[in-house]
Structure 1
Amino acid sequence: MVERETWATRLGFILAAIGSAVGLGNIWRFPFQTASSGGSAFLAVYLLAVVVIGIPTILAEFVIGRRSHLDAINAFRRLGRPKWWFVGAIGVVGSFWTLSYYSVVGGWVIRYVVGSLNGNALTAPGDYFGAVSAGPEAVAFHAAFMLVTVVIVAFGIERGIELATKFMVPSIVVLLLGLAVFAATLPGSGQGYEFLLAFDASAIADNAAQVIPAAVGQALFSLSLGFSVMITYASYIGKDDNLVTDGLTIAVANTFVGVLAGLVVLPLLATQTGDPGSGGPGAVFVAIPTALANLPAGRAIGVVFFLVVLIAALSSSISLLEAVTSYIVDRGYSRMPTAAGLGGIVFLLGVPSAWDTAWLGWFDGISVSLFLPIAVLLVVLFVGWVMGRDAADELRQGMSTEGIAPVWLWALRTFVLVAVVGVVALNLYDLFTVSSPDDAVYILPPPFR
């Protein structure tokens, strides 16, 4: 029997998990979700969701993964609860589903690297985004992005994912910091900071049905929770790792990058449009090229920026594909053909999203509003009430302070569970309550609306 792979270093695991969490979820999705969901109101609920739901849940997924040392589906069999296999399966299916449209956005980023190099992306950013975001060429670049993802995953944990993310994560942070400094120097950027940071409690109360599901969904999405990714990554680590320290490190780093991306994109939106709340899915692809077009070195900065966005996209896409690949590999199949075959299926599933962005919105809505919260609810329920004290014992491994484990277990069983149930209820209400044709985007695919 072939020995199961492990991370070469603890730092490699942390950086890979941070890379999975950071990705496009923070650099692409966080700014436009913030812009369309109330700015500071969204940010406040998002930060609360990270603390109340995100950190306890990431520890729950770590516990399942490390205790089982198996993929997210077979983990439950090794834990002595084979009937709970569907919890991991929902996450794996969610990873597969999400990667199909995530890869399409990754293809956009490749186009913008090229477009920044020849200057086309900076000439008329709005028109350029409309031209490259859908159609045959979008399908081709979706295929190119999936190919790179497959190659990295095919090389395995140590020689592929760990090696790649050790370069990716520091690069993302350094460039975003530089761009945030640049954005702060632009006239009119203060309106973007005010929109993001000037807290208004009434904005939450007035738009709770929109803000809360969007913010909690973003917290889960950006931390890669509900995708079985953290279960999978934790299955490759040893008993001496401190899961609490690792989980906090990942959550803080992820949140920092998300807010940093907001501090880049929203001020740029404010300077270019006068309205930081005008962003949509194309915010990163329109506001930043527009700003760079006014700089003497705009092309060079654009190439570097979108290369780093591409790196961030890949750091997450490899984790989504690994969550699915590990299940097949743990059943005795070879990694390289498995990664290639699964990558091909993901590509085909993503073709509608590449052909028409309305499909992409529908896929994203199903992922964030349905797969993620339900998978998280089941993980919290399983670890808190089924594993129980076994979960607390596993969390204690590698820790010098034992008092954290029972508090964490109590939190999972009580207010975390209640909070996640509330989120699932809100999302289901949002999914199946239609007040206008536009609200149907998450219920029916675009051709049937």
Structure 2
Amino acid sequence: MAQRETWATRTGFILAAVGSAVGLGNIWRFPFVAGEGGGAAFLVVYLLFVALIGFPAILVEFVVGRRTERNPVGALMELGGGAWKYIGGVFIVTGCVILSYYSVVAGWFIRYFLEGFRGSYASHLAGYESAAAEVGAPTTALMFGELSTGLDAFVLHTIFMALTIGIVALGIRRGIETATKLMVPGILLLLVGMAIWAYTLPNAGAGYAYYLSPDFNVILDNWVELLPAAAGQAFFTLSLGMGVMITYASYLGEDRNLTRDALTIIGFDTGIAFLTGLVVFPIFFAGGITEPGEGGAGAIFISMTDAFATLSGGRLLGILFFGTVTIAALSSAISLLEVVTAYMIDEKGIERWKAALGMGGVIYLLGVPVTYDLVFLDLLDLFADGILLVFGALVLMLLVGWVAPKFAVEELSKGIGDLGGLGQAWIWAVRVPIVIVLVVSLYLGLVDYVDFLTGPFSDWLSQNL
């Protein structure tokens, strides 16, 4: 097996892990999933998942990665035996699937970022008004439909994947650590600045009320929809169930306090997700957008463009916002490509640059259909978010909780000391309540995906084949 790199500093690891967790999961996905879930009602369930499920789960990935010093496939095979090798392959598939459409979505943010330099967002919308009137569609929705597919989307997908491949090919210290040390602080500073500005907007209070004042009756009435959505978002935004934290932890030394690192990463990630809501929802309501969940994957583009077109200073704010998300997307994309690259290095003995280029090329090709029609985005996202992520997390909980619990407590104690009863409490939390929640979430995710396949996707096939 090729000599493995290590992180140069604790800060480098923390920022790389935070960068992986932040990305599009927080800034693209969080607002529209929260909007679909009723704003504050979703926020409550999501935060409960992060605290009660996310923290124990990220520790599981950390101990598996650091103990084995291998990628997810090699790690599961070493700890559980030969049959687990094939189960570990789920993480490789998950990383490939998510990054394939993630790259296309990142290309959309690049496009909207560049549009800000070409003129105001109001002027861009004006160019679509007559066409929108002819088909009876909202102007922003038509603009998003035009920009999200076609040649431009294909080209930007190509550029984004090339950047991702280039950074990962440089290695852990020269590539990933250096890039995230620059990107993550910048993301945080820009979001703080935009949140302060959003506070000054007219009708911002309505946005805060929508986002911060939960109606618990909504939670009780819609828990079947909220549970899988919140579970998927929690795992998506923390990069759990996709092998990222296993891979990143495999480059750690034994003297590191994994509990402290986990709390730091979760704190930063959840704080940035929450901060994103403080930016987005006041802007939505100030711009007259009172149904933030409408529009699905395009909600953030449709709603934010509407808002930027009507607000004073909207052009500058749009450039800052879409530019921030582009940077965040890149910080997450490199972590996903690192998972599959580490697999090729560890298990196949391939040089890093060849592994990054080869696997990056496969992922790039998988994402090309998304640039043709957004139905493929839904097809991949629902599969990855509702099924693969939750299944991957469930597999790890079963491995650590029931197959190899002794090693897990030993590994967690390194860098901390005697855990006392806390180690066993953690194991039992992993064994029972977390497994039950994940099984229920996986079942509901499967139901949602079958509904999609037999409904919207079936309709699309009948119309296009």
Q: Alpha-carbon deviation of 1:276?
A: 4.2
Q: How does 1:109-258 map to 2 (within 5 A)?
A: 109-119=109-119, 121-124=121-124, 126=140, 127-258=142-273
Match of 1:411 in 2: 429
Which one of the candidate residues 344, 347, 352 is aligned to 2:361?
Answer: 344
Q: Letter of the aligned partner of 1:345 in structure 2?
A: V
Q: How does 1:236-385 map to 2 (within 5 A)?
A: 236-280=251-295, 281-294=297-310, 297-330=313-346, 331-385=348-402
In 2 relative to 1, CA 439–389 (structure 1 residues): closer, same or farther, beyond 3 Å?
same
Deviation digits for residues 295-339 of structure 1 (CA, Å, limit 9, x no counterpart)? 665434333332221110001100111100101011211111221
Contact 1:56 1:412 in 2 (8 A): yes
Instruction: Measure the CA separation in 2 of the matches of 1:274 and 1:163.
Output: 39
Instruction: Measure the CA separation in 2 of the matches of 1:227 and 1:234.
Output: 13
Q: Letter of the aligned partner of 2:147 in structure 1?
A: V
Comparing 353-362 and 8-17, the one that deviates more:
353-362
In 2 relative to 1, CA 438–206 (structure 1 residues): closer, same or farther, beyond 3 Å?
farther
Q: How does 1:35-50 map to 2 (within 5 A)?
A: 35-50=35-50
In 2 relative to 1, CA 116–401 (structure 1 residues): closer, same or farther, beyond 3 Å?
farther
Contact 1:146 1:347 in 2 (8 A): yes
Question: Normalised by the size of structure 2, how large is the TM-score?
Answer: 0.91
Contact 2:80 2:404 in 1 (8 A): no
Contact 2:104 2:154 in 1 (8 A): yes
Q: Letter of the aligned partner of 2:436 in structure 1?
A: V
Instruction: Measure the CA separation in 2 of the matches of 1:87 and 1:258.
Output: 31
Q: How does 1:428-447 map to 2 (within 5 A)?
A: 428-432=446-450, 434=451, 440-441=455-456, 446-447=460-461
Q: Letter of the aligned partner of 2:33 in structure 1?
A: Q
Unpaired runs of 5+ residues, structure 1, are: none
Instruction: Measure the CA separation in 2 of the matches of 1:96 and 1:57.
Output: 21
Q: Letter of the aligned partner of 2:438 in structure 1?
A: V
Deviation digits for residues 395-415 of structure 1 (CA, Å, limit 9, x no counterpart)? 111004513322211211121
In 2 relative to 1, CA 122–85 (structure 1 residues): closer, same or farther, beyond 3 Å?
farther
Match of 1:95 in 2: 95
Instruction: Measure the CA separation in 1 of the matches of 2:246 and 2:283.
Output: 37
Q: Is the partner of 1:73 in helix, strand or coil?
A: helix
Contact 1:143 1:347 in 2 (8 A): yes
Instruction: Measure the CA separation in 2 of the matches of 1:180 and 1:199.
Output: 20
In 2 relative to 1, CA 79–176 (structure 1 residues): closer, same or farther, beyond 3 Å?
same
Match of 2:13 in 1: 13
Instruction: Measure the CA separation in 1 of the matches of 2:196 and 2:313.
Output: 16
Comparing 22-31 and 67-76, the one that deviates more:
67-76
Q: Is the partner of 1:277 in helix, strand or coil?
A: coil
Q: Letter of the aligned partner of 2:449 in structure 1?
A: L
In 2 relative to 1, CA 428–296 (structure 1 residues): closer, same or farther, beyond 3 Å?
closer
Unpaired runs of 5+ residues, structure 2, are: 126-139
Comparing 140-149 and 128-137, the one that deviates more:
128-137
Contact 2:37 2:293 in 1 (8 A): no
Q: How does 1:24-39 map to 2 (within 5 A)?
A: 24-39=24-39
Q: Alpha-carbon deviation of 1:289?
A: 3.5
Q: Alpha-carbon deviation of 1:83?
A: 1.8
Match of 2:439 in 1: 421
Question: Normalised by the size of structure 1, how large is the TM-score?
Answer: 0.94
Q: Letter of the aligned partner of 1:372 in structure 2?
A: L
Match of 2:131 in 1: none
Deviation digits for residues 366-425 of structure 1 (CA, Å, limit 9, x no counterpart)? 111110111111110101111111111111110045133222112111211111112112
Q: Alpha-carbon deviation of 1:428?
A: 2.1
Q: Alpha-carbon deviation of 1:179?
A: 0.8
In 2 relative to 1, CA 138–421 (structure 1 residues): closer, same or farther, beyond 3 Å?
same
Instruction: Measure the CA separation in 1 of the matches of 2:283 and 2:392.
Output: 35
Q: Does 1:390 align with 2:407?
A: yes
Instruction: Measure the CA separation in 1 of the matches of 2:359 and 2:248.
Output: 18
In 2 relative to 1, CA 292–428 (structure 1 residues): closer, same or farther, beyond 3 Å?
closer
Q: Is the partner of 1:275 in helix, strand or coil?
A: coil
Instruction: Measure the CA separation in 1 of the matches of 2:13 and 2:306.
Output: 37
Deviation digits for residues 207-250 of structure 1 (CA, Å, limit 9, x no counterpart)? 12211111111001101111011111100101011111111111
In 2 relative to 1, CA 148–274 (structure 1 residues): closer, same or farther, beyond 3 Å?
closer
Deviation digits for residues 91-139 of structure 1 (CA, Å, limit 9, x no counterpart)? 1100100111000011111112211111264534514322211112111
Q: Letter of the aligned partner of 1:47 in structure 2?
A: L
Q: Letter of the aligned partner of 2:45 in structure 1?
A: V
Contact 2:40 2:215 in 1 (8 A): yes
Instruction: Measure the CA separation in 2 of the matches of 1:419 and 1:409.
Output: 15
Contact 1:44 1:199 in 2 (8 A): yes
Contact 1:239 1:397 in 2 (8 A): yes
Contact 2:148 2:371 in 1 (8 A): yes
Q: Is the partner of 1:317 in helix, strand or coil?
A: helix
Q: Is the partner of 2:400 in helix, strand or coil?
A: helix
Q: Letter of the aligned partner of 2:441 in structure 1?
A: V
Q: Letter of the aligned partner of 1:285 in structure 2?
A: F
Deviation digits for residues 249-273 of structure 1 (CA, Å, limit 9, x no counterpart)? 1111111111111111112111223
